Structure 1
Amino acid sequence: MPTVADHYDTLLAEFYSRMFGDYGAKVAEQRALLERLGLRPEGSSGALDLGCGSGFQSIALAELGFKVTAVDLSERLLGELAARRGQLAIEVVRGDLLDVIERPGERPGPLAELAVCMGDTLPHLGSKADVERLFAGCARRLTPGGRFALTFRDLTRELEGVDRFIPVHDSADVIMTCFLEYEPETVKVHDLVYTRAQDDGRWRLSASFYRKLRLSPEWVCERLEAAGFRVSHREVARGLVTVVARRETEVGRDTKAVEVHE
């Protein structure tokens, strides 16, 4: 069974950025989201971008004044980020998120004031236990009062029939579609990529699959609070969940998160 890393290395990384359209426009979109959530430097200005991909959030964070440590497993995507960062304060670190966040005394180094895990990275972890490990690791890596921002897809509601086929990208030389197959705790995501060969103009199909966790907003917020965070903001818009939490010395149960549904 292919792992998430295998899936990206052999298929998705080559086409990852183009799935989102214009790179600069995507960075601007992420910067606007971070500003709307009030995520600007407050102290040390250190920020961790966990599962940074090709760097949409990393560049947006650096433009806002953060000193960013960007972590991902994909050498190709980190290479794209490195080529695009220019003089921005972004350090790229190749490694497994859990290994990096739990490694004592090593990277990502001093305590940060912000960690982000965005772009649906969270469901890519191997199990709910791994999600809890990530939350606990982030709590240790953040200063008291430090913030943790997440975005992820709520896959708890099952799509049916042809709705399970989702167009991802189409252009003159690449067409991408994914197909979802639901399992009790995970969703099996099949990516189908058609590419037009330059030499003969014929279309060729490449396909692979990986699994995403089915995480509900309620479960994620509960586990954040159990790890030492206080959830301050939660919204759900068209199936995308956005959560912001602060690391607290003691976390009470009387927090009222802001909820938005669209």
Structure 2
Amino acid sequence: MPTVADHYDTLLAAHYSRMFGDHDAKVAEQRALLERLGLRPEGSAEALDLGCGSGFQSIALAQLGFKVRAVDLSDKLLGELAARRGQLPIEVVQGDLLDALERPGPPAELAVCMGDTLPHLGSKADVERMFAGCRRRLAPGGRLALTFRDLTRELEGVDRFIPVHDSADVIMTCFLEYEPEAVKVHDLVHTRSPRDGRWTLSASFYRKLRLSPDWVSERLEAAGLRVCHREIARGLVTLVARAEADVGRDTKADTSAANGG
């Protein structure tokens, strides 16, 4: 059974950035989001980008004044980030984000796990482990920003086929199969040969966790990360949580307010 790392290494990494269009435009979009969420340096300016991909958030964070440690499994995507970072203060780290959180390092003012990285983890227990690791690595008052797709609602029939990218030489389509705790994501990539114009199909799949906004919010609170911002737009969940100075403090009332009741 292919892992997420296998899927990216053998298929998706080569086409990942093109799915999002112009790279600089995507960086600008992410910078605007970070600014809207109030995520600017206020203290040490140390930031962790967990599952950074080709660097949309890492570059945006560095442009805002953060010193970024960018972590990802894919050497190809990290190579793209390294080629684009210029003189920005971005340290590239290849490895598992859970392992990266266990390594020693300065307390972080901000950690981000954005795009749709969170559901790539292997289990809900790994999600909880990540939150605990972030709580340990964040300075008191530091923040964790998450974005992820809510896959708890099942699409049916042809709605499970999702167009991803369409250009003269590459066509990308995604197909979803639902399981109780995960979604099997099949990526179908048609590429046209520049020599003879023939099309070739490459396909692979991996699993994404089905995480509800309520469950993620509850587990953040349990880890000592108080949810201070929550929004859902077209199935994309955005959460910001702050590391409590006193992990044992009761945060139930704060959670209720942040979640609109």
Shorter chain as normaliser: what TM range?
over 0.9
Are 2:206 and 1:210 equivalent residues in the alignment?
A: yes
Say what the alpha-carbon RMSD is for the aligned residues: 0.7
CA distance in 2, matches of 1:20, 1:171: 12
Ranges of 4+ aligned residues in structure 1 off by more than 3 Å: none
Counterpart in the other structure of 2:17: 17
Are 2:222 and 1:223 equivalent residues in the alignment?
A: no
Instruction: Describe the superposition over 1:221-258 as per-residue Cα deviations: whole angstroms up to 9, x where unpaired.
Output: 00000001110000000000000000002342111115
DSSP 3-state at the match of 1:100: helix
Q: Which of 154, 160, 166 lines up with 1:158 in the alignment? A: 154
CA distance in 1, matches of 2:210, 2:112: 20
Counterpart in the other structure of 1:254: 253
User: Following TM superposition, by how much is the alpha carbon of 1:102 offset from its aligned partner in structure 2, in angstroms?
Assistant: 1.7
Counterpart in the other structure of 1:127: 123
DSSP 3-state at the match of 1:167: strand
CA distance in 2, matches of 1:11, 1:190: 11
The sequence identity of aligned pairs, in percent, is: 83
DSSP 3-state at the match of 1:189: strand
DSSP 3-state at the match of 1:25: helix
Amino acid aligned to 2:180: P
CA distance in 1, matches of 2:55, 2:231: 23
CA distance in 2, matches of 1:9, 1:155: 24
Amino acid aligned to 1:118: M
User: With structure 1 as the length reference, what TM-score do the two structures score?
Assistant: 0.96
Counterpart in the other structure of 1:242: 238
Are 2:114 and 1:118 equivalent residues in the alignment?
A: yes
CA distance in 1, matches of 2:153, 2:258: 22
Residue correspondence of structure 1 range 182-221 to structure 2 within 5 A: 182-221=178-217
DSSP 3-state at the match of 1:15: coil
Residue correspondence of structure 1 range 79-90 to structure 2 within 5 A: 79-90=79-90
The unaligned stretches of length 5 or more in structure 2 are none
Counterpart in the other structure of 1:61: 61
Amino acid aligned to 1:88: L
Instruction: Describe the superposition over 1:108-166 as per-residue Cα deviations: whole angstroms up to 9, x where unpaired.
Output: x1111000000000000000000000000000000000000000000000000000000
CA distance in 1, matches of 2:32, 2:78: 23
Counterpart in the other structure of 1:91: 91
Q: Which of 166, 171, 181 lines up with 1:170 in the alignment? A: 166
User: With structure 2 as the length reference, what TM-score do the two structures score?
Assistant: 0.97
